[in-house]
Amino acid sequence: MATLTHDVDVSPEIRELLEKYENYLRGQRSLSDNTVRVYLTDLASFDRYINESGQDLTDMNRRMARSYLAWLATEARETRHPYSGRKQKEGYARVSIVRKLTALRSFYRFLVQQGMFKHCPVPSGRSLQVKVEKPLPSFIGKQETVRLLEAPDEDDLYGMRDRAILEVLYSCGVRLAEIEGMDLPDVNFDQRQILVEGKGSKERWVLFGQPTANVLLKYLEETRPQLLDGPTEALFLNRYGQRLSRRSIEKLVKGYAARAGLRDGVHTHTLRHTFASHMLEGDADLRVIQELLGHSSPTTTQIYTHITKQEARAAYLNFHPRAQSD
């Protein structure tokens, strides 16, 4: 199988190490192709930094880490001025810098395993005083959700398929990679549940209600046979009878959001956030939501409680007669 490292622009000096690192990420950490690609791309930034600064992998220490972060924040990216079209350099956002630091620390921990270092020389983000405010997840209201789900034309071949995709995204709260990877045997209509493969190849069952079951059955009985072109177990098919890609799913969600008159920025993960927020609004236990979302830590799920508190405050200030001063 071709390695993803070959698609990354890095110097020959580091390429061989990155190929071994890619095998480590796949074999020992069981990361998905998409996650591996992000790690490798982030390390390509570090490769550019050491080449520009005239340093070496073995020079890593606290001072070099600080210098790398400063480089990322000021001149790491080459862009074009929106008006003049001239090339210019600008820094990455703080959240991207933190992600790149995480990738760098992971890489050096791998180099420790390779015997190149006695311990990881990359300090933690906390010790380097790199802090990022996590934005609250964006979600849509219940009426907006209904408009989105009803946006596809069910009399159209692809509209029926797209309605089923939107139903599964919202009803099950699944990630983009999870819905892309769904196969026919994964769907259990008797129990109204779907087996999905989440991060780290961890499997879990997600649930769906009768409305989603009705739409899925109609898609499987009427639409999928017309799209099918050769044997495949993929649940959602493209016009060529093959598995529908993530890019296509992202594109159709964005298109139907626009058709439904929703704000810009609604994407597949918005429906996952919406699923969690609506569950919490319905007084679902946070641990149940954690299990359905496939979060390994309850801390990740707790961010949705902040959304509910924020919405409650907004509703109080808007509607309670004693909330506003005269």
Contact at 8 Å (CB) between 280 and 305?
yes
Q: Which tokens is 176 given?
A: 């983009």
Catalytic residue among 175, 224, 243, 278: 175
Which run of H or E residues covers position 102?
Answer: helix 94-113
- Scanning the structure block, which residue is given the tokens 């099918």? 228
Q: Please say if 269 is a catalytic residue.
A: yes
CA-to-CA distance for 116 and 160, rounded, in angstroms?
Answer: 55
Neighbouring-strand partners of residue 88: 79
Q: Please say if 202 is a catalytic residue.
A: no
Contact at 8 Å (CB) between 18 and 9?
no
Catalytic residue among 100, 243, 273, 295: 295
Neighbouring-strand partners of residue 194: 187, 206
Q: Please say if 66 is a catalytic residue.
A: no
CA-to-CA distance for 187 and 98, rounded, in angstroms?
Answer: 38
CA angle 200, 203, 207 (to 5 degrees): 135
Neighbouring-strand partners of residue 188: 193
Q: Which tokens is 138 given?
A: 């964006």
Q: Please say if 199 is a catalytic residue.
A: yes
CA-to-CA distance for 142 and 264, rounded, in angstroms?
Answer: 17
Catalytic residue among 100, 224, 272, 278: 272
Catalytic residue among 199, 204, 246, 267: 199
Grouping H, G, I as helix, E, B as strand and the rest as coil, residue 151 is: coil
- Scanning the structure block, which residue is given the tokens 């679902």? 284
On the 0-12 / 13-18 / 19+ scale of CB atoms within 10 A, 322 is exposed
Q: Taking Cα atoms as reference points, which of 151, 128, 155 lies closest to residue 68? A: 128
Q: Which tokens is 78 given?
A: 């080459």
Q: Please say if 175 is a catalytic residue.
A: yes
Grouping H, G, I as helix, E, B as strand and the rest as coil, residue 55 is: coil
Q: Taking Cα atoms as reference points, which of 169, 146, 46 lies closest to residue 103? A: 46
Q: Please say if 81 is a catalytic residue.
A: no
Residues known to be catalytic? 175, 199, 269, 272, 295, 304
